[in-house]
Amino acid sequence: MSVFLSYVLLGLSLAAPIGPVNAAQIDRGIKNGFLHAWLVGLGATIADGIYMMLVFLGVVYIIEIPFVQAFLWLFGFFVLVYTGYESLLGANKVSLDMTRGKQESHVKSFFSGFFMSLFNPLTILFWLGIFGSILAKTVTTYDTHMLIVYCGAIFLGITVWDVTMASLASGMRRFLTTKLLTGVSIVSGLSLIGFGVYFGIQACKILF
Protein backbone atom coordinates (compact mmCIF):
# COMPACT_ATOMS: atom_id res chain seq x y z
CA MET A 1 0.00 0.00 0.00
CA SER A 2 2.86 2.37 0.82
CA VAL A 3 4.34 1.74 -2.64
CA PHE A 4 0.95 2.52 -4.23
CA LEU A 5 0.71 5.81 -2.30
CA SER A 6 4.25 6.74 -3.37
CA TYR A 7 3.14 6.41 -7.01
CA VAL A 8 0.06 8.56 -6.28
CA LEU A 9 2.40 11.20 -4.82
CA LEU A 10 4.54 10.92 -7.96
CA GLY A 11 1.46 11.78 -10.04
CA LEU A 12 0.73 14.73 -7.76
CA SER A 13 4.32 15.94 -8.11
CA LEU A 14 3.99 15.88 -11.89
CA ALA A 15 0.76 17.90 -11.91
CA ALA A 16 1.38 20.28 -8.98
CA PRO A 17 4.20 22.60 -10.19
CA ILE A 18 2.68 25.85 -11.47
CA GLY A 19 3.01 25.79 -15.24
CA PRO A 20 1.02 26.54 -18.38
CA VAL A 21 -1.72 23.98 -17.70
CA ASN A 22 -2.34 25.18 -14.14
CA ALA A 23 -2.40 28.81 -15.31
CA ALA A 24 -4.95 27.91 -17.99
CA GLN A 25 -7.03 25.94 -15.46
CA ILE A 26 -7.24 28.93 -13.13
CA ASP A 27 -8.21 31.21 -16.02
CA ARG A 28 -10.91 28.83 -17.35
CA GLY A 29 -12.23 28.00 -13.89
CA ILE A 30 -12.74 31.62 -12.92
CA LYS A 31 -14.30 32.59 -16.23
CA ASN A 32 -16.32 29.50 -17.09
CA GLY A 33 -16.59 27.30 -14.01
CA PHE A 34 -15.49 23.89 -12.76
CA LEU A 35 -16.17 21.79 -15.86
CA HIS A 36 -14.05 23.94 -18.19
CA ALA A 37 -11.14 23.98 -15.73
CA TRP A 38 -11.38 20.22 -15.25
CA LEU A 39 -11.46 19.65 -19.03
CA VAL A 40 -8.19 21.58 -19.40
CA GLY A 41 -6.66 19.21 -16.85
CA LEU A 42 -8.24 16.18 -18.51
CA GLY A 43 -6.75 17.16 -21.87
CA ALA A 44 -3.32 17.43 -20.26
CA THR A 45 -3.80 14.04 -18.59
CA ILE A 46 -4.65 12.38 -21.91
CA ALA A 47 -1.44 13.85 -23.37
CA ASP A 48 0.44 12.41 -20.38
CA GLY A 49 -1.10 9.04 -21.16
CA ILE A 50 0.19 9.21 -24.73
CA TYR A 51 3.75 9.77 -23.50
CA MET A 52 3.39 6.97 -20.97
CA MET A 53 2.43 4.64 -23.83
CA LEU A 54 5.41 5.83 -25.88
CA VAL A 55 7.72 5.00 -22.98
CA PHE A 56 6.09 1.56 -22.73
CA LEU A 57 6.62 1.00 -26.45
CA GLY A 58 10.22 2.14 -26.26
CA VAL A 59 9.76 5.07 -28.65
CA VAL A 60 12.16 7.30 -26.72
CA TYR A 61 15.05 7.68 -29.12
CA ILE A 62 12.96 9.89 -31.45
CA ILE A 63 12.78 12.63 -28.79
CA GLU A 64 16.58 12.69 -28.64
CA ILE A 65 16.79 13.97 -32.24
CA PRO A 66 17.62 17.73 -32.10
CA PHE A 67 15.17 18.58 -34.90
CA VAL A 68 12.31 16.88 -33.03
CA GLN A 69 13.24 18.68 -29.82
CA ALA A 70 13.33 22.03 -31.62
CA PHE A 71 9.93 21.32 -33.21
CA LEU A 72 8.37 20.53 -29.83
CA TRP A 73 9.78 23.68 -28.23
CA LEU A 74 8.60 25.81 -31.16
CA PHE A 75 5.12 24.32 -31.28
CA GLY A 76 4.81 24.77 -27.53
CA PHE A 77 5.90 28.39 -28.02
CA PHE A 78 3.14 29.06 -30.56
CA VAL A 79 0.42 27.30 -28.53
CA LEU A 80 1.27 29.16 -25.32
CA VAL A 81 1.79 32.59 -26.86
CA TYR A 82 -1.45 32.30 -28.82
CA THR A 83 -3.42 31.22 -25.74
CA GLY A 84 -1.85 33.98 -23.66
CA TYR A 85 -2.50 36.59 -26.34
CA GLU A 86 -6.13 35.46 -26.55
CA SER A 87 -6.47 35.87 -22.78
CA LEU A 88 -4.95 39.37 -22.88
CA LEU A 89 -7.07 40.36 -25.86
CA GLY A 90 -10.26 39.48 -24.05
CA ALA A 91 -9.18 40.90 -20.67
CA ASN A 92 -10.82 44.30 -21.13
CA LYS A 93 -13.99 42.71 -22.53
CA VAL A 94 -14.76 40.29 -19.72
CA SER A 95 -17.44 41.01 -17.16
CA LEU A 96 -19.27 39.13 -14.46
CA ASP A 97 -22.24 38.76 -16.79
CA MET A 98 -19.99 37.00 -19.32
CA THR A 99 -18.90 34.41 -16.75
CA ARG A 100 -22.52 33.48 -16.23
CA GLY A 101 -23.60 33.83 -19.82
CA LYS A 102 -22.13 32.64 -23.09
CA GLN A 103 -19.05 30.48 -22.61
CA GLU A 104 -16.46 28.97 -24.86
CA SER A 105 -16.95 25.36 -25.93
CA HIS A 106 -15.97 22.41 -23.77
CA VAL A 107 -14.00 20.99 -26.69
CA LYS A 108 -11.83 24.12 -26.85
CA SER A 109 -11.04 23.86 -23.12
CA PHE A 110 -10.11 20.19 -23.50
CA PHE A 111 -7.82 20.69 -26.49
CA SER A 112 -6.10 23.74 -24.98
CA GLY A 113 -4.94 21.54 -22.08
CA PHE A 114 -4.16 18.64 -24.41
CA PHE A 115 -1.88 20.61 -26.73
CA MET A 116 -0.20 22.53 -23.90
CA SER A 117 0.88 19.26 -22.33
CA LEU A 118 1.52 17.35 -25.57
CA PHE A 119 4.01 19.93 -26.82
CA ASN A 120 5.56 20.78 -23.47
CA PRO A 121 9.14 19.42 -23.53
CA LEU A 122 9.29 19.64 -19.74
CA THR A 123 6.44 17.11 -19.57
CA ILE A 124 8.23 14.95 -22.12
CA LEU A 125 11.46 15.07 -20.11
CA PHE A 126 9.54 13.86 -17.07
CA TRP A 127 8.01 10.89 -18.84
CA LEU A 128 11.16 9.89 -20.69
CA GLY A 129 13.55 10.64 -17.85
CA ILE A 130 11.94 10.14 -14.46
CA PHE A 131 9.14 7.78 -15.51
CA GLY A 132 11.43 5.88 -17.88
CA SER A 133 13.85 5.06 -15.07
CA ILE A 134 11.00 4.22 -12.67
CA LEU A 135 9.46 1.95 -15.29
CA ALA A 136 12.76 0.12 -15.78
CA LYS A 137 13.00 -0.52 -12.03
CA THR A 138 9.33 -1.48 -11.69
CA VAL A 139 9.53 -4.00 -14.55
CA THR A 140 12.39 -5.82 -12.85
CA THR A 141 10.67 -5.79 -9.44
CA TYR A 142 6.98 -6.40 -10.14
CA ASP A 143 4.85 -8.36 -12.62
CA THR A 144 2.75 -6.77 -15.40
CA HIS A 145 -0.41 -6.63 -13.27
CA MET A 146 1.30 -4.57 -10.56
CA LEU A 147 2.93 -2.39 -13.20
CA ILE A 148 -0.53 -1.43 -14.52
CA VAL A 149 -1.76 -0.77 -10.97
CA TYR A 150 1.17 1.55 -10.21
CA CYS A 151 0.76 3.41 -13.51
CA GLY A 152 -2.89 3.85 -12.57
CA ALA A 153 -1.75 5.27 -9.23
CA ILE A 154 0.27 7.94 -11.06
CA PHE A 155 -2.82 8.96 -13.03
CA LEU A 156 -4.88 8.94 -9.84
CA GLY A 157 -2.49 11.49 -8.38
CA ILE A 158 -2.72 13.65 -11.52
CA THR A 159 -6.53 13.44 -11.48
CA VAL A 160 -6.76 14.40 -7.80
CA TRP A 161 -4.68 17.51 -8.47
CA ASP A 162 -6.73 18.45 -11.55
CA VAL A 163 -10.03 18.18 -9.63
CA THR A 164 -8.54 20.20 -6.75
CA MET A 165 -7.33 22.96 -9.08
CA ALA A 166 -10.66 23.07 -10.94
CA SER A 167 -12.58 23.27 -7.64
CA LEU A 168 -10.38 26.06 -6.29
CA ALA A 169 -10.53 28.09 -9.51
CA SER A 170 -14.30 27.77 -9.91
CA GLY A 171 -14.81 28.46 -6.19
CA MET A 172 -13.03 31.79 -6.58
CA ARG A 173 -15.84 33.03 -8.85
CA ARG A 174 -18.05 34.02 -5.93
CA PHE A 175 -15.44 36.57 -4.80
CA LEU A 176 -15.07 38.16 -8.21
CA THR A 177 -15.45 41.75 -9.23
CA THR A 178 -15.13 42.92 -12.84
CA LYS A 179 -11.78 44.54 -12.03
CA LEU A 180 -10.44 41.37 -10.39
CA LEU A 181 -11.65 39.26 -13.32
CA THR A 182 -9.79 41.52 -15.74
CA GLY A 183 -6.67 41.31 -13.57
CA VAL A 184 -6.78 37.51 -13.52
CA SER A 185 -7.07 37.41 -17.31
CA ILE A 186 -4.07 39.73 -17.68
CA VAL A 187 -1.89 37.81 -15.19
CA SER A 188 -2.88 34.48 -16.74
CA GLY A 189 -2.19 35.76 -20.25
CA LEU A 190 1.22 37.18 -19.30
CA SER A 191 2.09 33.95 -17.50
CA LEU A 192 1.28 31.83 -20.55
CA ILE A 193 3.22 34.18 -22.85
CA GLY A 194 6.14 34.04 -20.42
CA PHE A 195 6.23 30.25 -20.56
CA GLY A 196 5.92 30.49 -24.35
CA VAL A 197 8.90 32.85 -24.62
CA TYR A 198 10.96 30.44 -22.51
CA PHE A 199 10.02 27.62 -24.90
CA GLY A 200 11.00 29.82 -27.88
CA ILE A 201 14.41 30.57 -26.33
CA GLN A 202 15.05 26.85 -25.85
CA ALA A 203 14.15 26.20 -29.50
CA CYS A 204 16.59 28.91 -30.65
CA LYS A 205 19.37 27.39 -28.53
CA ILE A 206 18.90 24.07 -30.34
CA LEU A 207 18.55 25.58 -33.80
CA PHE A 208 21.33 28.17 -33.57
HEC per residue, 47-83: HHHHHHHHHHHCCCHHHHCHHHHHHHHHHHHHHHHHH
Q: pLDDT tens for residues 80-101?
A: 788 788 778 776 665 544 444 4
What phi and psi, each to the nearest 5 degrees, are found at residue 16? -70, -40
The predicted pLDDT at position 193 comes to: 87
User: By C-alpha distance, which of 188, 203, 199 is closest to 83?
Assistant: 188
Cα(179)–Cα(43) distance, rounded to whole angstroms?
30
pLDDT in tens, 112-167: 889 888 887 767 766 766 666 666 666 666 676 777 887 888 889 888 888 888 88
- Domains in the chain: how many in total? 1
Range(s) of the domain holding residue 43: 2-207
CA–CA distance, 94 with 28 (Å, rounded to integer):
12
Contact 47, 111 (CB under 8 A): no
pLDDT, average across residues 34-62: 82
* Predicted TM-score (pTM) of this structure: 0.68
Would you say 121 and 201 are in contact if contact means Cβ atoms under 8 Å apart? no
So what's the pLDDT on residue 101? 46
